[in-house]
């Protein structure tokens, strides 16, 4: 009788067990029901408010924050300047336009619909930029970000490093 050493014998047992387990699982996988991964009455997309909007006036998904730290005082100076311009039009196109630069901060804008130019009162740009100041801060630290203009959702406003 031939004597097998321990290592080849262990490999033979492991391989046999492994291939038997694989073939059993691949021919008879568990059902989703047995794993409790089904929902008897799934909710509709409408009830979850996950439908795609048909109008370009609901670009709330453009509200974002950056990770670059900026000087809060410079952001506020830029916003106050834009608000002081009142109804003066801030015109944007496909290229990014710099509305104001204060120290390390630039407040810019562009047309997010990719179609020609758009105009919005600079006052509205400043007021919209306040969303970034109030939402993109951590204690005394302020960060840049992006949002859309009041009344003209196609105008994307960004606070970034100058």
Residue 73 has pLDDT above 50, yes or no: yes
Pick the closest to residue 133 from 83, 41, 71 (CA basis): 71
Reported pTM: 0.61
Contact 159, 75 (CB under 8 A): yes
Residue 126: per-residue pLDDT: 92
For CA atoms 64, 70, 72, 75, the dihedral sign is negative
Alpha carbons 5 and 8: distance in angstroms, whole number: 6
How many contiguous H segments (helices) and E segments (strands) does the chain have?
3, 8
Confidence of residue 56 (pLDDT cuts 50, 70, 90): very low
Cβ(152)–Cβ(120) under 8 Å? yes
- Residue 91 is given by DSSP the state E
Q: At residue 30, does pLDDT exceed 60?
A: yes
Q: Give residue 99's pLDDT band: very low, low, confident or very high (50, 70, 90).
A: very high
Whether the per-residue pLDDT at 75 is higher than 50: the answer is: yes
- The pLDDT score that the predictor gives to residue 85 is 92
Distances (CA, A) of 152 to 36, 116, 135: 46, 14, 20
Among 92, 125, 126, residue whose Cα is nearest residue 111? 92
Q: What residues contact residue 153 under an 8 Å CB cut-off, 6+ apart?
A: 56, 57, 58, 59, 112
Over range 81-95, report the average pLDDT: 90
* Higher pLDDT pick, 9 / 124: 124
Give 31-46 pLDDT, tens digit per residue: 656 655 555 555 554 5
Q: How confident is the model at residue 97 (pLDDT cuts 50, 70, 90)?
A: very high
């Amino acid at each position: 009788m031939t004597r097998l050493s321990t290592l080849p014998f262990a490999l033979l047992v492991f391989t046999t067990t492994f291939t038997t387990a694989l073939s059993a699982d691949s021919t008879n996988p568990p059902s989703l029901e047995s794993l409790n991964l089904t929902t008897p009455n799934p909710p509709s997309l409408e009830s979850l408010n996950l439908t795609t909007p048909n109008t370009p006036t609901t670009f709330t998904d453009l509200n974002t924050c950056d990770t670059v730290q900026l000087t809060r005082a410079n952001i506020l100076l830029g916003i106050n300047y834009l608000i002081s311009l009142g109804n003066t039009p801030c015109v944007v196109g496909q290229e990014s336009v710099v509305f104001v630069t204060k120290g390390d901060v630039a407040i810019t804008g562009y047309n997010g619909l990719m179609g020609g130019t758009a105009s919005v009162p600079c006052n509205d740009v400043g007021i919209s930029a306040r969303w970034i100041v109030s939402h993109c801060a951590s204690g005394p630290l302020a960060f840049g970000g992006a949002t859309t203009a009041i009344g003209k959702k196609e105008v994307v406003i960004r606070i970034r490093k100058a």
